[in-house]
Amino acid sequence: MTDHHAEALRWDGQSLFLLDQRRLPAEERWLPIPDLETAIKAIQDLVVRGAPAIGITAAYAAVLAAREHGEHAVAWMKDMARLAEARPTAVNLRWAVQRMIAVREEGGDLDALEAEARSIHARDVAANRAMARLGSSLILPGSGVLTHCNTGSLATGGVGTALGVIVRAWREERLTSVYADETRPWLQGSRLTAWEFHREGVPCSVIVEAAAASLMREGRIHWVITGADRITANGDVANKIGTYSLAVLARAHNVGFMVVAPSSTLDPDSPSGDEVPIETRDSGEIWRTAGLTEPLSGIDAWNPVFDITPGELLSAIVTERGVLRPPFTESAIRAAAGR
């Protein structure tokens, strides 16, 4: 598959740059990230988002912090603790930080830390390609697919997870139609996923989330394909809010549900989704989507970023190590995670 994908981040050996995803698709603006504090704020403010891309960003941020602190390992470790908590749900962030800490604890210097960050980045690129191949092979010719949120190059280091599968399936002429949820309140589907499909030359129809059930009822959808921010030992999936709803609808309409995520997203140390912290954000994000600066007096909003989809609702979990099928077991998840 020829890569025409966008990039979420760039590292030139000295500096980190992030494509400001808050401004897409109207403006492609690259922000310099000179230090750890700027990196943490960029992660929290959704300049960069998507679990794999956040993990890669964290790895390079650890290098920037090491340059700032020099030999002061205690100060660097305190920074790593803050970095790991920048967004609590996505396990790739903590995984990447732990990888960088392991290098430092083994006596690694600044060059070793940078080499590890580059390795994390390169591994994600390779994993994306492997997942695209494996996931596409599950889709029969003549299928229609629906995806949620954004899971392409903007969320990863390479061609993407779920979006990478869809792009490859389109080029292999397996698909007749592609749909993308708007994905409120940040509209990652209509702003980012549609933009990526346009760049890749894949025709796509954007729908509001409430239209998904009707699409399935009319028989237009054969697979729902999403990414994941964390997959627990029993196959439960933490992903963008709305994923659970789609999984329930898919089961009711006999539609396949595929989760595509690198092995770094697997968290066999968490028994189930009940143990996953769910990030909630400012309710003002909901009002701003409607063009309001503030709600009516006495009116509040609830704004969780993620939800938990039970593993029993999945048809397949695709990682770069292979395809997992239900029922999911801790031993299978642990093996797929390389532990």
Q: What is the pLDDT of residue 228?
A: 97
- Is 294 part of a structural domain of the chain? yes
pLDDT for 217-250, tens place per residue? Answer: 999 999 999 999 999 999 999 999 999 999 999 9
Q: Please state, in angstroms and rounded to a whole number, the distance separating the CA atoms of residues 6 and 23.
A: 14
pLDDT band at 143 (very low <50, low <70, confident <90, very high): very high
Q: Tell me the percentage of the chain whose pLDDT exceeds 70.
A: 99
Q: Tell me the percentage of the chain whose pLDDT exceeds 90.
A: 89
Same structural domain, 238 and 276: yes
Out of 79, 124, 181, 229, the active site residue is 229
229 is an active site residue: yes
The CATH number of whichever domain residue 144 belongs to comes to 3.40.50.10470
- For residue 302, is pLDDT > 50? yes
Same structural domain, 87 and 165: no
Same structural domain, 83 and 111: yes
C-beta separation of 225 from 167 below 8 A: no
Task: Using CB atoms within 10 Å of the CB of residue 265, give its burial: 0 to 12 exposed, 13 to 18 middle, 19+ buried.
Answer: buried
Average per-residue pLDDT for the chain = 95
Average pLDDT value for residue range 172-178: 98
Residue 47, helix vs strand vs coil: coil
The CATH number of whichever domain residue 33 belongs to comes to 1.20.120.420
- For residue 1, is pLDDT > 60? no
Same structural domain, 226 and 296: yes
Same structural domain, 219 and 87: no
- Is 200 part of a structural domain of the chain? yes
pLDDT band at 4 (very low <50, low <70, confident <90, very high): low
Give the gyration radius of the chain's Cα atoms: 19
Same structural domain, 145 and 93: no
Same structural domain, 103 and 38: yes
- Is 2 part of a structural domain of the chain? no
Same structural domain, 170 and 122: no
Domain that holds residue 142: 137-336
Which residues, in sequence order, are CB contacts of 191 under 8 Å at separation 6+?
24, 25
pLDDT for 55-82, tens place per residue? Answer: 999 999 999 999 998 878 899 999 999 9
Same structural domain, 223 and 255: yes
Q: What is the pLDDT of residue 291?
A: 87
Q: What is the pLDDT of residue 2?
A: 46
In this predicted structure, which of 93-97, 280-284, 293-297 has the lowest mean pLDDT? 293-297
- Is 279 part of a structural domain of the chain? yes
Look up residue 190 and give its DSSP letter.
I
Omega cis (within 30) before 25:
yes
pTM across the whole model: 0.92
